[in-house]
Structure formats: structure tokens, C-alpha cells
Amino acid sequence: MEKISRTKIVDLLKRVDFGAMVNVKGWVRTRRGSKQVNFIALNDGSTINNVQIVVDLASFDEELLKKITTGACISVNGKLTESVGSGQKNEIHAVDIEVLGVCDNTYPLQKKGHTLEFLREIAHLRPRTNTFGAVFRIRHNMAIAIHSFFHEKGFFYFHTPIITGSDCEGAGQMFQVTTKNLYDLKKDENGSIIYDDDFFGKQASLTVSGQLEGELAATALGAIYTFGPTFRAENSNTPRHLAEFWMIEPEVAFNDIVDNMDLAEEFIKYCVLWALEHCADDIKFLNDMFDKGLIERLQSVLKEAFVRLPYTEGVKILEEAVAKGHKFEFPVYWGVDLASEHERYLVEEHFKRPVILTDYPKEIKAFYMKQNEDGKTVRAMDVLFPKIGEIIGGSEREADYDKLLARIDELNIPMKDMWWYLDTRKFGTCPHSGFGLGFERLLLFVTGMANIRDVIPFPRTPHNAEF
């Protein structure tokens, strides 16, 4: 076969230099036609759209044609031709076809219309479907949007460790990291495991958040963000929780809670606008296939200011709803950690737009949050979104050394490994704020997918680490 340099289908579909000889490579989605002429829909992952290959059967060997089945990988040289059919403006009239990889009829993606549940069981192949191709292209574009947003604003991308020696990051159960022989654990007289001979010489875990190190960086570089994997061993089998997920955590010196809310709102709107502008084909596909309200929902988030409301007011609204007969699965009262159904009621039923809830009871929030004068609440902020509930959790941080230490004592937090964190408050402390956005929660919103397992390539959840 003559060597012609390959054109990606995303670029090819825009071309109008009819008559040119081109090469495309990709996987056969479908093949149909008559005894004289066949039409192959070819996809190479660069776009949701397929290019149509027109094959005049008389010019090709029958043995070769037999191998062009759904899922097969082929390379096609052909003439770029104006398309007379509807849909694409061009097509390729095949001159030469090489089968790079055959695909027999055990290929699970022959038929269309598999359920998302079934596709999770073949996560190694599902990126080849239209749906997951779209989701993972959007995932890439959102990562670029995030870096672009912070870079434009002069934030520095700061890498916090994945393996951590602090067991009080304050956000959920941790996975341990060890090289010890688990069949022969040495214990002291109290039955506690001895870690002296372990790899790090002490107990180590996978991080649940980069925030504490992020605070160190913010009090040096001014404004930073992290963007990396985080791990939580919480046994929550929900459509919104993963054991391994990616988190974006900006942390900014001199920002108070209001600046923090402004940043969160601007950030999410920037990402949503980016998706609409850069992923139009993929979003339209997901809108048409899964969620007819998707595009409208994305656009509406851009238009409206987020509601900003103290937790206490939010609870009042929920209690009034209960009084009027609204049924929640979980009880609502001042002091409760709101469930997703409560958050979604505020967003979807009551305000009909995103809500930032602030000033939560200190008992349900982490030790490092700035304490309010009332002695009961802290300067926390959760951003609540339609269909999801909490998408961002953040706060103004307690900058006062004595107040922070008092809270740590009160909660009996083991601080022996955290001397370095307290140093930020000892040496030139400053007001500062930050938040964490769950990357997959953002993707749930932007793609309209209903289950978090469907917006990450290889989900890790309780009892599931296949692939």
C-alpha cells in the first residue's frame, strides 16, 4: 500500500479539497450496502463523528472484504470526494484498504444499545463506544480548562504528595501503604503494629486531600492549586463516590470566605463555558442520547448568580418543606450533616439554581476551618449543584495559632506528625482560604452522566479494582 501520511478524522471531516488522495486509519463501526457498493463508517477516536468510506466491491479482493467487520482496524487510502448524502460534507472513495487488525464475532461491541452497567464490565473496551469516547474527550478538555483557568489567573500548579505520613488530613478513611509482610506483623506489648521496620519507618497512607500541604504553598507562593488523585476508603457505594478520584484544590493567601466563593463560582462557570465551546459535538451527543436537558442546564448555570446562604437559613427552608409535607429519607434539624437529597431540594426545588451554603456547625466540619464569633459555626462553604449535591467543599482557614491549637486539642486530633502544619500559623500567619472540587463530580455535571463510575476510565469502588 502506498504510504500517504495519515489524516485524523476530526481534521479530515473539515476538508473540501476534493480529489486529494488521503489516508485514514481507524476502527470499523458499521458496514452496510449492496452487492456493488459498501459504506464503512470509520472512527479513530479523534471525534465522535465517523468518516464514510465508499467501497466499490468489484475493485477489491473478496478475502480482504471478509475481514472488514465491526471492530476491525483498517487503513484506507482513497480519494476525498464531496458527499451527496446528508450528514457529512465529504467521504472517501477507497483505492486501497489494509486490514491492520481483524476482529471476530466475539467482539462484545457489535450491537448497539448496551447498558451502561454492561459496559462497566468491559471497561477496557468501552472507550470505543460513542458514549465513552465523548465522556473521555470531555474529561481531557476539562483538565485543560482547569489548568488554563488557574494559569491565566497567576496560580501555580503545586504537587502535593500522594503518600502521606499524617493520619489526620481530616477527610475520610485512608488506605495504608506498606511493604511489611502482612503474614508476619510484629506487634508491641499493647498489640499495636510496630512500624519502625516499615518502608517509611512509620505508618503511611494514600492522601485523602492535598490541602494541608497546599496551605504551606499558599503561604509562600500566594496562590496555588493542586490537581491530582486522592483516595478514600469510605465504604460508600453511591453514584457520587469513588475510592480513587481526582481533586482540584486551590488555596489562596489573603482570600476571605467571600473571595473564596467568588473564585469557586468564577471557576465553575469558566469550566462549563469551556465545555460548551470546546466539546460541542460530544455534549450534543450526550444531550440527545441520555439527558435532553443537559445543554439547557449548562447554559443556565452560566447565566445566573449562585445563591449564597448560611446553613442555618438552609435548614429553616428544609424544615419548612417538611412541615408542608415534603418527605425526606433522612431527618433535617440544625446540626445535621445534610444529605444529598437535602442539598438537591435546595438547588432543584427551592432556588432552581446552584447554591453556596456557608457557616456550618463546627461539629460537622474539619478542625482547620475558621471559627465564627458565635462559637457554634465555622466559615465553611459547600457549593451545591443540580443533580449532584455537593460539588465543592471549602472554607476560610483558621489562621490564629491559639484558636487552631485549641480546636485540635478539643477534637483529640493526633498532631504529632503535623508540627509542620502548625508552623504556618507560627511564622507569619495570614488569612487564607481554599476549596476542593471533585473532578468527577464536575464531569457528572458537564456530561449529564448519572453515575460517577461512568466519568472515570477505570473506577475503583468497594470490591472493584478490575482493569
Binding site for Mn ion (CB under 5 A): 393
- Our CA angle for 451, 456, 461, nearest 5°, is 70
DSSP per-residue codes, 212-252: HHHHHHHHHHSEEEEEEEEE------STT--SEEEEEEEEE
Contacting residue, 436, 443, 447, 448, with ligand ATP by CB under 6 A: 436
Is residue 232 within the footprint of ligand ATP (CB under 6 A)?
yes
Rule CB under 6 A: which of 169-188 touch ligand ATP? 171-172
Phi-psi region of 138 (alpha: psi -120 to 50; beta: other; left: phi over 0): alpha
Is residue 440 within the footprint of ligand ATP (CB under 6 A)?
yes
Contacting residue, 314, 438, 448, 459, with ligand ATP by CB under 6 A: 438
Query: What beta strand segments (E) does 269-338 contain?
Result: 307-310
Give least dist CB 404 to ligand ATP, A. Answer: 18
Give the other-Cβ count within 10 Å of 146's Cβ.
Answer: 23
- Please provide residue 119's backbone torsions phi and psi, each rounded to the nearest 5 degrees: -65, -30
Is residue 133 within the footprint of ligand ATP (CB under 6 A)?
no
Give least dist CB 391 to ligand ATP, A. Answer: 5
User: Which run of H or of E encompasses 409?
Assistant: helix 401-410
How far is residue 376's CA from residue 122's CA, in Å, rounded to a whole number? 49
**What's the number of CA atoms in the CB half-sphere (13 Å) around residue 259?**
14
Q: Per the structure block, which three cell numbers stand in for 169?
A: 488530613
Judged by beta carbon, residue 312 or residue 451, the one nearer ligand ATP is 451
Give least dist CB 212 to Mn ion, A. Answer: 15
Give least dist CB 419 to ligand ATP, A. Answer: 23
Judged by beta carbon, residue 53 or residue 174, the one nearer ligand ATP is 174
Is residue 241 within the footprint of ligand ATP (CB under 6 A)?
yes
From the list Mn ion, ligand ATP, none, which binds 361 (C-beta under 5 to 8 Å, kind-based)? none
Dihedral in degrees, nearest 10, Cα atoms 151, 152, 155, 158: -10
Is residue 391 within the footprint of ligand ATP (CB under 6 A)?
yes
Q: 455: helix, coil or strand?
A: coil
How far is residue 223's CA from residue 221's CA, in Å, rounded to a whole number? 6
Candidate ranges 75-83, 312-320, 391-399, 419-427; the one touching ligand ATP (CB under 6 A): 391-399
Q: 274: helix, coil or strand?
A: helix
Give least dist CB 339 to ligand ATP, A. Answer: 9
Give the other-Cβ count within 10 Å of 463's Cβ.
Answer: 8
Which residue is nearest to Mn ion, using beta carbons?
393
From the list Mn ion, ligand ATP, none, which binds 438 (C-beta under 5 to 8 Å, kind-based)? ligand ATP
Is residue 425 within the footprint of ligand ATP (CB under 6 A)?
no
**What's the number of CA atoms in the CB half-sphere (13 Å) around residue 467?**
14
Fill in the DSSP letter of residue 192.
P
**What's the number of CA atoms in the CB half-sphere (13 Å) around residue 458?**
6
Candidate ranges 143-151, 153-161, 241-249, 371-379; the one touching ligand ATP (CB under 6 A): 241-249
Is residue 365 within the footprint of ligand ATP (CB under 6 A)?
no
Is residue 392 within the footprint of ligand ATP (CB under 6 A)?
yes
Candidate ranges 27-35, 143-151, 242-250, 269-277; the one touching ligand ATP (CB under 6 A): 242-250
Judged by beta carbon, residue 137 or residue 241, the one nearer ligand ATP is 241
Distances in Å between the alpha carbon of 441 and those of 104, 193, 332, 366, 446? 37, 37, 24, 21, 9
Judged by beta carbon, residue 393 or residue 434, the one nearer Mn ion is 393
Is residue 390 within the footprint of ligand ATP (CB under 6 A)?
yes
Judged by beta carbon, residue 12 or residue 392, the one nearer ligand ATP is 392
Is residue 245 within the footprint of ligand ATP (CB under 6 A)?
yes
Q: Per the structure block, which three cell numbers stand in for 14?
A: 473539515
- Our CA angle for 387, 389, 391, nearest 5°, is 110
Is residue 450 within the footprint of ligand ATP (CB under 6 A)?
no
Distances in Å between the alpha carbon of 345 and those of 150, 314, 351? 32, 10, 9
Judged by beta carbon, residue 158 or residue 368, the one nearer ligand ATP is 368
Give least dist CB 386 to ligand ATP, A. Answer: 14
Contact 332, 320 (CB under 8 A): no
Judged by beta carbon, residue 71 or residue 436, the one nearer ligand ATP is 436
From the list ligand ATP, Mn ion, none, which binds 344 (C-beta under 5 to 8 Å, kind-based)? none
Binding site residues, ligand ATP, CB under 6 A: 171-172, 232, 240-242, 245, 247, 390-393, 436-438, 440-441
